[in-house]
Amino acid sequence: MGITLKQNMVIATVVGQQDIVPYVVGKKTVFSPDQAAEYDWGFTWLKEPLEELAARSLATGEFRLCSIKNPLQKEQELTVMVDPCLPPHELIILGGGHVAKSLGDLGKLLGYVITVVDDREDFVTEQRFPQADRRIYCSFDDLALHLSPGPRTSVVIVTRGHKHDWNCLQQMLKYPLQYLGVIGSRRKVALLREKMLAEGYAEAECNRIYMPIGIDIGAQTPEEIAISIAAELIKVRRGGQAASLKMGADEPVTACAAEISSAGEMNVIEKAVEAAEQGIPAALATIIASQGSTPRKAGSRMLVLNDGAIYGTIGGGIGEAQIGKEALRVIASGLPEITTVAMNAENAAMEGMVCGGTIDVFIEPVDELGRVLVRRT
């Protein structure tokens, strides 16, 4: 049976230390909003800054690598990996037409929890949306009775008509969403914007809506439009720079230098805890820093079992193969370590890549992770 962890927590792991006794590299603790952290590493000066970092990571979803110094003895320093494990992002699709079908497939591939809503029963069947986690048949007037979206929710309005779009939009504007988009031509969007202003909505409220929806790739077919929308969801989630079709003020770009916690990354942690519980020797490899052009950024994870099986990815290629070998050595020794993989010009050329970069990877046996997380679940 697989393990499902509570997905609203931060795992803090010591990955380095300087002029400190005892040796605590690999030690972990878990922070969550409803439960105090349990740790006794013997450093009272660590508690306050670590709790502040954990709270910030919970709020932003960002992976962090931080150095914390003893304020009374500056030479004493701990390097801590602060790793958020948050609920998966949710994608609510209002409307069950052709674009919605393709978007549901893409959303599931991207790790979203998928909810599809339509007021036509035969448009929200399991046969039509087998990938959806929830299929809701209800009037578009009653969305509040069935939905409770939040900051990790993206809402895409693709109903069959302007009346329903307007109805859905008015209700969704009440929520603090990560993304809100409406399908439609530029003419339709201009009219919708005029209607919002006439109804008393502020300019800022109009500007938070992505309409027309999607990235400008010249999409025509339902499948292409779905790809365009999915690309925009990624852009907003990751802080990308691609040009949106959106009319009005430019949207803010919030680029993040680290991976955002996703369902795929959580699956790797759950696999690691499962291995620890079952006594299967394994090592978890986490990118803690990256420089230059690399396929994955800080926060990406890969689990390596003692038989060589791998779950997750830190970028593939010879770099991942090198980490796989190092992970087997960590499994054998039982000691965590940091390994640097340099994709220099020569290595990049061997892999058929056009650029290179460097990643620092913390590799640890899964036993400590299993111990602290199973105790919390």
Q: Using H for helix, E for strand and C for coil, what is the string for the chain?
A: CCCCCCCCEEEEEEEEEECCCCCCCCCEEEEECCECCCCCCCCHHHHHHHHHHHHHHHHHCECEEEEEEECCEEEEEEEEEEEEECCCCEEEEECCCHHHHHHHHHHHHCCCEEEEEECCHHHCCCCCCCCCCEEEECCHHHHHHHCCCCCCEEEEECCCCHHHHHHHHHHHCCCCCCEEEECCCHHHHHHHHHHHHHCCCCHHHHHCCECCCCECCCCCCHHHHHHHHHHHHHHHHHCCCCCECCCCCCCCCCCCCECECCHHHHHHHHHHHHHHHCCCCEEEEEEEEEEECCCCCECCEEEEECCCCEEECCCCHHHHHHHHHHHHHHHHHCCCEEEEEECCHHHHHHCCCCCCEEEEEEEEECHHHHHHHHHHC
Of the three residues 67, 85, 103, the one that is the final residue of a domain is: 85
Considering the domain boundaries, does residue 273 fall inside one?
yes
**111, 205: one domain:** yes
* Domain membership flag for residue 250: no
Q: Based on the domain organization, do 343 and 273 belong to the same domain?
A: yes
Q: Which of 33, 54, 85 is the last residue of a domain?
A: 85
Q: In the prediction, which pLDDT does 18 show?
A: 95
- The separation between CA 68 and the C-alpha centre of its own chain, rounded to angstroms, equals 26
305 and 362 in one domain? Answer: yes
Q: Are residues 71 and 97 in the same domain?
A: no
In a domain, 299, yes or no: yes
**Predicted pLDDT of residue 39:** 76
Distance (Å, whole) CA 323 – CA 305: 12
Structure tokens at 66: 């931080």
When divided into structural domains, the chain yields a total of: 3
User: Which of 64, 85, 106 marks a domain boundary?
Assistant: 85
In a domain, 4, yes or no: no
pLDDT for res 257: 42
Pair (112, 74) in one structural domain:
no
Whether residue 125 is found in the same domain as residue 179: yes
Greatest distance between any 2 Cα atoms in the chain? 69
Asked if residue 71 has a cis previous peptide bond (ω within 30° of 0), the answer is no
Q: Are residues 39 and 131 in the same domain?
A: no
Q: Look at residues 83, 86, 8 and name the one whose alpha carbon lies nearest to residue 262.
A: 86
Give the C-alpha separation, 32 to 22, whole Å: 26
Range(s) of the domain holding residue 292: 263-376
CB 156 within 8 Å of CB 213: yes
17, 108: one domain: no
Q: Do 96 and 77 have their domain in common?
A: no
Is residue 244 in a domain? Answer: no
The strand pairing partners of 29, in sequence order, are 12
Q: Are residues 63 and 116 in the same domain?
A: no
Task: List, in order, residues 6 or more apart from 355 with CB less than 8 Å away.
Answer: 292, 293, 348
Please, are residues 61 and 86 in contact by the beta-carbon 8 Å criterion? yes
Q: Is residue 284 part of a domain?
A: yes
Is 49 in the same domain as 101? no
CATH number at residue 233: 3.40.50.720
pLDDT in tens, the chain (377 residues): 455 565 688 999 999 999 999 999 999 999 988 877 877 788 989 999 999 999 999 888 889 999 999 999 999 999 999 999 888 899 999 999 999 999 999 999 999 999 999 999 999 999 999 999 999 999 999 999 999 999 999 999 999 888 999 999 999 999 999 999 999 888 888 889 999 999 999 999 999 999 999 999 998 889 999 999 999 999 998 888 788 877 654 444 443 444 445 555 678 998 999 999 999 999 999 999 988 878 788 989 999 999 999 998 898 777 888 999 999 999 999 999 999 998 765 555 444 444 468 999 999 999 999 888 866 55
How much is the pTM?
0.73
Domain contains 206? yes
Is there a domain that residue 363 lies in? yes
Identify the pLDDT of residue 294. Answer: 80
Q: Are residues 128 and 219 in the same domain?
A: yes
